[in-house]
Structure 1
Amino acid sequence: MANFLKRLFKSRDKPKDSVSQAPNFYMGQSVSGKVVNERTSMQTTAVFACVRIIAETIASLPLHTYRYRGEGKEKMYDHPLYRILHDEPNPEMSSFTLRETMMTHLLLWGNSYSQIIRNGRGDVLGLYPLLPDKMLVDRDQKGELYYTYRKEGQSYYLGPDEVLHIPGLGFDGVMGYSPVALAKNAIGLNIAAEEYGGRFFANNATPTGILSTSGTIKDPTKVRDAWQAAYGGRNNYKVAVLEDGLQYQAISMPNSDAQFLETRKFQIEEICRIFQVPPHMVADLSRSSFSNIENMAISFVVHTIRPWLVRIEQAMNRKLFKEKEKGQCFVSFNASALMRGDYKSRMDGYAIGIQNGFFSVNDVRRMENMDPIPEEEGGDLYLTNGNMLPLKLAGAYAKKALEENAGDEE
């Protein structure tokens, strides 16, 4: 079927659009005058915290390789991909490090690229992350995608089967757009506010001002330089002596009057909005309470983490499995640990599951990382309350059945 669709596609008009020339959003100077790129943005605490929280959360989730078995599934411990994705994608890094790097690239550049190393049979032997700012994606004359990786003045050409490309949100279905580039003005304002605060306190939090007099100053530059030398910088707490009728008047408002702290706080909320991270996770507890913080954590898993997991899983299923394995084998994150809740809530949920027969004792013990109870001791039994009966055995249905049985016996 896949080969038929490929031939059908080739028989039609080839795509004429060039991916590299598609509309894009570029990093650079923001309206605040600050240069915003993936590196300067990570120097702001809010961006660093949001990227770290999402990347570390996804990297810490177990990633397993499965095959469908009847109506269920089973882990494929013997599949070459299992060890690569779960433990060690290459000799230089762990699975956690690779996925953390992939997510960092996605959150800053909007795209993640990893080179796929295969053997002659097509089995994946390793994955190596590639820097997104060194990658060019385009189409050849036949309309096929190809990747050009530029490193140390050399260009390396890679086919689509050699690159695990995970795009973020985009417009053409091929390339993702950088959240940092899209929100560079908001991030630039945050950088400008941080620099303003740094310069303000570098001047010992003393506002600037003017020297005025009713008379005429022949050389104002000399007077200004003399004042700066005597009372500027580290000397600004010295007692000033004014001559020739000079008067000093401050012209800058204190930070409290300029709502400096409120501006910085709002920009933190703006950056959290960009990455869909609840503010309490970056230590902003102003709108958090004991009653809503757990709900916000669950919302973070559902609306922030889960879409990224689906995006990564589907890209891996497309690129890493052989054609004959697709539809039979798949990779999947185990995100159940993020939804566990507090201890009492978990125990109440487990009790309901055991009493209604869809959890066994060993099912619960596995979810709590406890050793299972031996099968002969009843650890794998599925139980239900004795007062729960099928409808046909209750009330009028049971009476009618008994009467019919009695009639047959007569």
Structure 2
Amino acid sequence: MRLFGFNISRAKAVEKALSPVAQSGRGWWSILESYPGAWQQNVEVKFDSVLSNHADFACRTLIASDIAKLRIKLVAKDSDGIWSETSNSAYSPVLRKPNDWQTRIQFMESWVLSKLQRGNTYVLKQRDGRGVVVKLYVLNPDLVTPLVSETGAVFYQLNADALSGVEQSVIVPAREIIHDRFNCFFHPLVGLSPIFAGGLAAMQGLAIQNDSTLFFQNGAQPGGVLTAPGSIEDDTAKRLKEYWDTNFAGKNSGKVAVLGDGLKYEAMKAKAVDAQLIEQLKWTAQTVCSTYHVPPYKIGVGELPSYDNIQALNVEYYSQCLQVLIESIELCLDEGLATGENLGTELDTDNLLRMDSVTQMEVLEKSKSVMTLDERRRKLDLKGVSGGNTIYLQQQDHSIEAIAARDAQLIAQSQSASAAPVDTRNNSDDAEALAQSEQRAFVAEAMLAFQKGLAA
């Protein structure tokens, strides 16, 4: 039996020689315990709860959507080492439509979200009879376990996943899986999610929001105690508490309470202002952003930088956050599809790094001597024009070689003119010739002096 080009019976034969890699930092225990003993102290980092934190959610979805919107190009290298877009029947179809139930954007979002949430992305290849990859499936990380044989060969154990076409548990070699991972702190085959570092801050932010919700459900009034000048029985204290909670707490906050027998209400819990709730919530969001390397202003946290340069802000975001993810995807696709040395994949970052319209037009105007008119028009999604496939240069610009040849000719002419005798008899033509000869001699002497100065 063959699944995705791999013999299942052969896989079962080698299963006994395989062992799972160390899962430190990947399992649920590392997610539940933010530090040793945290579980006993009821300080838990719950994976599902962290995913619902607004800052964590915003960072993950921002990164995934920004990368997913980049078109995947197949590029080829020519004899001059220049990469340009091309098409190929073996690679272009799967890059354009990875599988039957996902678009390219949905597929890439799944890829990036899996990597950000679990530290690992496992992509299963489906091949045709030629061995060419025709389908790609992003697998559920919970259903995949990396294995290492006694000889160091890498395999992956896949549990049943009907959506991806895996009908039963099977072990496949590494060549059938694209494994994109980062933050491999504990094992080279086990990536680590940013949640490992930012989970506690996310839980703190959720706790602040939950506490604030309860606070405002109580009419923005803090909790407190009823005190009496003397001792009271437990039954009386219980009765007073129940009466107070029923009539003056929650939706009944703000009603007038009449206290007798010297009873007095005293607030115990700090108000939101005293606890600096907004500052604490902002700090947790900024901490989460730092673990994803996302500038806080990108998700509405913190102030926007003062300088008004959209491209500079996008380049900062690209270089510190997206670039390593994008280039990792490109390398994984190149190796996974076996494109070779002269073919490769490239994510089109032009839209991501697009400048504001004024700056863009200025840059295109200054690139006349580098790009053809049609190349500049394509940057604006415009068609080519007649004569647009030529690089234009202003006429007064000359090459260094032409300038050097002109100077050499002037020197030679001046030297020959100064060596020839000049008839100075009364003749206007002779006088003009003498003036020109003297001018050429002066130019020659100046050029020689200039060249000696350069040599010195």
- Give TM class, smaller chain: 0.7 to 0.9
Deviation at 1:399, TM superposition (A): 2.6
Q: Percent identity?
A: 23
Q: How does 1:125-144 map to 2 (within 5 A)?
A: 125-144=134-153
Is 1:94 the counterpart of 2:109 in the alignment? no
Question: Which residue number corresponds to residue 364 of structure 1?
Answer: 376
Q: Return the alpha-carbon distance in structure 2 between the equivalents of residues 242 and 328 of structure 1.
A: 86
Residues 37 and 180, structure 1, Cα contact 8 Å, conserved in 2: no
1:167 paired to 2:167: no
CA distance in 2 between counterparts of 1:59 and 1:158 reads 28
Equivalent residue of 2:211, what SS?
helix
Maintained 8 Å contact 2:202/2:285: no
Could you give the per-residue CA deviations for residues 14-56 of structure 1, whole angstroms, max 9, x where no partner exists? Answer: xx99662154252124459464344322211111111111101
Alignment: residue pair count: 384
Deviation, structure 1 residue 291: 3.0
**Is 1:82 equivalent to 2:80 in the alignment?**
no
Q: How does 1:72-221 map to 2 (within 5 A)?
A: 72-85=82-95, 87-151=96-160, 155-171=169-185, 172-218=187-233, 219=235, 220-221=237-238
Q: Aligned partners of 1:407, 1:314: CA distance in 2, in Å? A: 64
2 CA distance for matches of 1:253 and 1:288?
34
How many Å apart are 1:405 and its aligned residue?
8.4
Larger gyration radius, structure 1 or structure 2: 2
Unpaired stretches in structure 2, ≥5 consecutive residues: 1-16, 162-166, 421-456
Where does residue 288 of structure 1 map in the other structure? 305
Is 1:311 aligned to residue 328 of structure 2?
yes
CA 1:270/1:162 → structure 2, altered by over 3 Å: closer, same or farther? Answer: same
Structure 2 distance, partners of 1:154, 1:252, is 56
Match of 1:329 among 310, 319, 343: 343
User: Matches of 1:124 and 1:46 in 2, distance apart?
Assistant: 37
Query: Aligned partners of 1:151 and 1:202: how far apart in 2?
Result: 46
Alpha-carbon distance in structure 1 between the residues aligned to 2:305 and 2:367 = 31
Aligned to 2:337: 320
SS of aligned partner of 2:352: helix
Q: Is the 8 A contact 1:34 1:188 kept in 2?
A: no
Distance 1:33 1:200, change over 3 A: farther
1:276 aligns with 2:293: yes
1:11 aligns to what?
Answer: none
Cα 1:208–1:141 shift into 2, 3 Å: same
* Unmatched 5+ stretches in structure 1: 1-15
What one-letter code is carried by the residue in structure 1 that aligns with 2:230? G
Q: What is the TM-score of this pair, normalised by structure 2?
A: 0.78
Q: Alignment partner of 1:27: what SS?
A: helix
Helix, strand or coil at the partner of 1:383: coil
Equivalent residue, structure 1, for 2:32? 28
Letter in 2 for 1:400: A
Query: Which of 307, 310, 316 is residue 299 of structure 1 equivalent to?
Result: 316
Aligned residue number for residue 280 of structure 2? 263
Note the alpha carbon deviations across 1:144-164, whole angstroms, 9 max, x for none: 111112347953322211111
Q: Given that residues 93 and 134 in structure 2 are in contact (C-alpha distance below 8 angstroms), is that contact kept between their aligned partners in structure 1? A: no
Q: Is residue 298–residue 339 contact of structure 1 (8 Å, CA) maintained in 2?
A: yes
CA shift, 1:115, in A, is 0.8
The answer to whether the Cα contact below 8 Å between 1:55 and 1:103 also exists between their aligned partners in 2 is yes
**Could you say if the C-alpha distance between residues 134 and 181 of structure 1 is closer, same or farther in structure 2, counting changes exceeding 3 Å?**
farther
Query: Matched residue of 2:231: which SS?
Result: coil
User: For the Cα contact (< 8 Å) 2:23–2:190, is it kept in 1?
Assistant: no
Confirm or deny: 8 A CA contact 2:112 2:121 kept in the other structure. Answer: yes
Q: How big is the shift at 1:392?
A: 2.6
When structure 1 is superposed on structure 2, of 33-42 and 64-73 the one drifting more is 33-42
**Contact preservation (8 Å) 1:278, 1:297:** no
Given the superposition, is the C-alpha separation of residues 242 and 151 from structure 1 closer, same or farther in structure 2, using an over 3 Å criterion?
farther
Corresponding residue of 1:246 = 263
2:358 pairs with one of 327, 341, 344: 344
Q: Distance in 1 between matches of 2:194 and 2:69?
A: 23
8 Å Cα contact 1:84-1:95 kept in structure 2: no
Distance of aligned partners of 1:303 and 1:241 in 2 relative to their CA distance in 1, 3 Å threshold: same
Return the offset for 1:73: 3.0
Conserved 8 A contact 1:276-1:304? yes
In 2 relative to 1, CA 155–35 (structure 1 residues): closer, same or farther, beyond 3 Å? Answer: farther
Conserved in 2, the CA contact under 8 Å of 1:66 and 1:73? yes
CA distance in 2, matches of 1:214, 1:37: 45
- Offset, 1:179: 1.0
Q: Structure 1 residues 238, 186: CA separation in 2 closer, same or farther (over 3 Å shift)?
A: same
Q: Contact conserved, 2:70 with 2:349, CA < 8 A, in 1? A: yes
1:63 CA displacement? 0.7
Q: Distance in 2 between matches of 1:222 and 1:296?
A: 61
User: Structure 2 vs 1, CA of residues 407 and 119 (structure 1 numbering), >3 Å: closer, same or farther?
Assistant: farther
Answering whether residue 409 of structure 2 is matched by residue 401 of structure 1, we say yes
RMSD, matched Cα: 2.5
Question: Tell me, what secondary structure is at the counterpart of 2:270?
Answer: coil
**Match for 1:313: what amino acid?**
E
